[in-house]
């Protein structure tokens, strides 16, 4: 595992546009960075069409996200290919990927600039997906959570054939199929009954969505494996990369998934034991469901 760098000269702040307190927090974090001797700071929100030039033209030492897990996820798509460490301040509801909160960031972030920083880098394997039609590559992605092949607007199952390392292993009639990373194992994959993997494991999980008379168990593969998913259905189906803009696929199209050459490097202050504590707490008391329940109770 790489050690966390101690010098920060160029830092970017990435924010979610729809959190009420985000603007005020950006001002606080920016002032903290200035006081800590950071030479260059740029910031933008994900509602902007294009990230600012600082993300492409400078060697950034750190990216700080202010938002929720979705903001962290989208930031990983920018930072992973460039090897930029990420740290998140949670303003959302779940905050499973983020490390800090609105209330405690001032306790932890200053320690990054000390000589004996407790921070560590948690390297998360990303996935590389290739959508092809015949010999033509139509789309490519590097994602953190998962690549999903799923039915479109029509409520009909789709038929998929799956090969691993060019060897056919199984066919599915299902609503769809998820290929997730270890990070993604606690996202959509978990929701359909997949196994929980430790976030630093370099594995992939294949699991169907609502399979009909098909194998309903997950396959756990290594980072040396390659998964090919072929659509065998005439009606509408799509590929969803990390929940981003879906792309339409046609009968005979293939999605190939393998371990990306990039990793998402998360700055962590907590110990690895925190993962177990958090996942159990979230499963016992889902913070999203609890928040909605409390909001509805107040309205009643």
Residues assigned a catalytic role: 69
Cα–Cα dist 98/268, whole Å = 9
Cα–Cα dist 144/285, whole Å = 25
110 φ, ψ to 5°? Answer: -60, -25
- Closest to 159 in 3D by CA, of 206, 205, 214: 214
Is 67 in a helix, a strand, or coil?
strand
Cα–Cα dist 168/191, whole Å = 26
- Closest to 45 in 3D by CA, of 12, 85, 77, 76: 12
DSSP-derived secondary structure letter, 183: G
DSSP-derived pairing of the beta strands 62-67 and 86-90? parallel
């Amino acid at each position: 595992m790489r050690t966390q760098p101690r010098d920060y000269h160029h830092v970017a702040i990435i924010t979610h546009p729809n959190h009420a307190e985000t603007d005020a927090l950006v001002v606080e974090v920016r002032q903290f960075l200035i006081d800590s001797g950071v030479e260059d700071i740029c910031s933008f929100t994900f509602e902007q069409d294009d990230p600012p030039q600082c993300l492409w033209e400078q060697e950034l030492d750190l990216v700080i996200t202010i938002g929720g897990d979705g903001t962290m996820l989208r930031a990983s798509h920018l930072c992973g290919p460039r090897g930029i460490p990420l740290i998140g301040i949670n303003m959302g509801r779940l905050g499973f990927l983020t490390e800090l909160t609105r209330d405690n960031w001032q306790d932890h972030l200053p320690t990054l600039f000390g000589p004996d920083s407790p921070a560590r880098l948690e390297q998360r394997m990303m996935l590389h997906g290739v959508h092809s039609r015949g010999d033509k590559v139509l789309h490519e992605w590097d994602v953190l959570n998962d690549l999903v092949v799923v039915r479109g607007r029509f409520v009909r199952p789709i038929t998929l054939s799956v090969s691993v390392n060019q060897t056919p292993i199984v066919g599915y009639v299902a609503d769809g199929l998820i290929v997730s990373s270890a990070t993604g194992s606690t996202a959509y994959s978990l929701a359909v009954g997949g196994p929980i993997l430790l976030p630093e494991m370099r594995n992939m999980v294949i699991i169907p969505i609502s399979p009909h008379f098909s194998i309903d168990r997950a396959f756990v593969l290594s980072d040396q494996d390659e998964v090919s998913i072929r659509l065998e259905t005439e009606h509408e189906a799509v590929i969803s990369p990390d929940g981003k803009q879906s792309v339409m696929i046609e009968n005979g199209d293939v999605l190939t998934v393998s371990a990306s050459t990039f990793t998402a490097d998360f700055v962590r202050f907590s110990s690895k034991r925190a993962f177990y504590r958090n996942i159990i707490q979230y499963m016992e008391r889902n913070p999203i469901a609890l928040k909605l329940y409390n909001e509805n109770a107040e309205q009643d």
